Structure 1
């Protein structure tokens, strides 16, 4: 039986979809500096990596994730966590590359994304060959039993057929297609592990494939992580924990709304940043960015997240030593790139000089 999702678009979901379109149109029409886009893209990719792996139990903090991706890992006892973030970062990059090909998505694409996210290899990983169950970690009770392994290949082919047909026919809003693909992949649960990460990568691929990449400067995963209980509740619908006893036919309108609401939230944040490049400021951004050294351009990504930072936070973000971080801050303050916000020796902090703040907003 072909995949035929059971859902409806509520007035609240329709409002979220309109907000997504408004933000998308606004951002796509703004002439943002390529250098700044590169910095914001890197920040968004790191946020996606951090939050998507955090959802699955990864213990690394965002500054630690930055260090690992910069090649400065080395957290004893957390080697597996380091591997997870490196793998997901590579997989997120590959998801965008696949989307840029502008062709039909294939099972091999998904298997390759899983291989990168879970194993760190481009070799496509085969689907599970046995039954698995999702249990409550507190009392070990079964909370979800996915379809049997022998059913997975057929269900995945049906899902990919549906995704490609919807993309081609454009009968549904793209965010709804991505939401339903995310939900159904997680419901089929084609792997023993890594299903959550791969379902989020699949949704991202669809969004980028269909013109909702928003220059790559947003992170949906941050919204999921900050509203994690709602994320799991929206995924857990139906009258039974068994795929064949109600889960497959369940009304998934709640998850569609949650997904679209998260997209609207993420897109609005990007729009707010992008619109600081209005008016007379636009023409000066390019010249200002050309004045900066490479590490200063990279540091703009940190100031895009926090107006005031310490030397220690800058050091972690850039993947350098605490001593180097302090030296850079002192030098950049003398050069007029930074301004001392708090002169206290123990709690000294810095912000961008006013002329550069537009480049990090």
Structure 2
């Protein structure tokens, strides 16, 4: 038996199709409107957001402030021996960075080789003890090899994934069904929704399937032509409704209920429920990030942030007063936001102050993570953790 690849566009409920059109429109607007110099800093931020939320779904308790502090400081650890939770966060962020630097060919996004790579990327460099997986209730342990498909039967809560033999057959169907060179229009989004569930249902690895599946969905939406993806996040939406996320995945796990419920091994009505949830989650997330990154509002919040910093009127997450910044920091930031990277001499000329004053101001801004100073290279924009909290309320 095979599974239904996705709900066909001509069968999808009208309200579901309308939601998908809204997601596509808002995604295109976000891609077009965000100031280009802000794009890379926001995408860097979203890596941390994705990592925080995808790992939170799995019970990881690392705090957002610790993640941002480690990213800003460029450190690999927060302590002499980092916790397992923190290592998972770092591995996840680094996996996303490597996938950006060495992107997947869109046609190959659903191949077994890509799925294996996504799993392997997440586990690169983890201690051996993180690869020891308990096999059964008797306490038998097996050593998982990153990127290698499971060789044992497993049980995940109430779900019993396909046997090893059937798993390989379903992975073959997965690879054929979700090739993007034959899927077009709204069907690409419907395929992304279904592929997320089918990956979880197949459960191809001994451990790490949830995080690998969400990494896959990130890559699939990008490959499907959602140019703004990376400026909004499905993992954030899943984690903010984790109980519903698992409930809808479970609905799509159900076997077909008679001849009116599709022709595949799994319930088409359950897949429709899941696809609706997937679309509602996407719409909620793209709306949130579109509202926060709307250029006029973004500019206003940046102005208010630097004006309050110039008066020493802002505090950090622990209530400690943040140091004052000269109001000229606002002018530097706005210049970089709208004009892109700038030589130091050009910024000095725009400020109309001396070299020493400019050097001191830029050093203060770099120390806080607001800009990047790299030798003689032009000054570039960044997002400090304090500015993130101001620009993106309720992000965490």
Q: Same fold (TM over 0.5)?
A: yes
Larger Rg: 2
Aligned residue number for residue 289 of structure 2: 270
| 1:85–1:286 Cα change, 3 Å | same
Question: 3-state DSSP class of the match of 2:108?
Answer: coil
Q: CA deviation at 1:249?
A: 6.3
Aligned residue number for residue 297 of structure 1: 371
1:112 aligns with 2:165: no
CA contact 1:5–1:252 (8 Å) conserved in 2: no
2:66 to 42, 57, 64: 64
Let me know the Cα RMSD of the aligned residues: 3.5
Equivalent-residue separation in structure 2 for 1:280 and 1:60 (angstroms): 31
Quick check: 275-284 or 205-214, which moved more? 275-284
Aligned residue number for residue 54 of structure 2: 52
CA contact 1:220–1:266 (8 Å) conserved in 2: yes
- 1:295-337 alpha-carbon deviations (Å, 9 max, x no partner): 223763545643289xxxxxxxxxxxxxxxxxxxxxxxxxxxx
Question: 3-state DSSP class of the match of 1:146?
Answer: coil
CA contact 2:6–2:194 (8 Å) conserved in 1: no
CA contact 2:292–2:298 (8 Å) conserved in 1: no
Equivalent-residue separation in structure 2 for 1:308 and 1:267 (angstroms): 16
| Number of residue-to-residue matches in the alignment | 297
Equivalent-residue separation in structure 1 for 2:267 and 2:150 (angstroms): 19
| 1:284–1:144 Cα change, 3 Å | closer
Aligned residue number for residue 18 of structure 1: 21
1:168 aligns with 2:182: yes
Equivalent-residue separation in structure 2 for 1:280 and 1:204 (angstroms): 28
Aligned residue number for residue 132 of structure 1: 154
Equivalent-residue separation in structure 1 for 2:177 and 2:108 (angstroms): 11
Equivalent-residue separation in structure 2 for 1:89 and 1:280 (angstroms): 28
Q: CA deviation at 1:75?
A: 4.7
Structure 1 residues not aligned, in runs of 5+:
136-142, 310-361
Equivalent-residue separation in structure 2 for 1:308 and 1:20 (angstroms): 22
CA contact 1:98–1:109 (8 Å) conserved in 2: no
2:221 to 199, 207, 210: 207
TM-score, normalisation: structure 1 = 0.71
| 1:158–1:255 Cα change, 3 Å | same
| 1:155–1:96 Cα change, 3 Å | farther
Equivalent-residue separation in structure 2 for 1:86 and 1:285 (angstroms): 31
Greater per-residue helix proportion: 1
Question: 3-state DSSP class of the match of 1:144?
Answer: coil
CA contact 2:154–2:160 (8 Å) conserved in 1: yes
Equivalent-residue separation in structure 1 for 2:235 and 2:245 (angstroms): 10
Aligned residue number for residue 151 of structure 1: 166
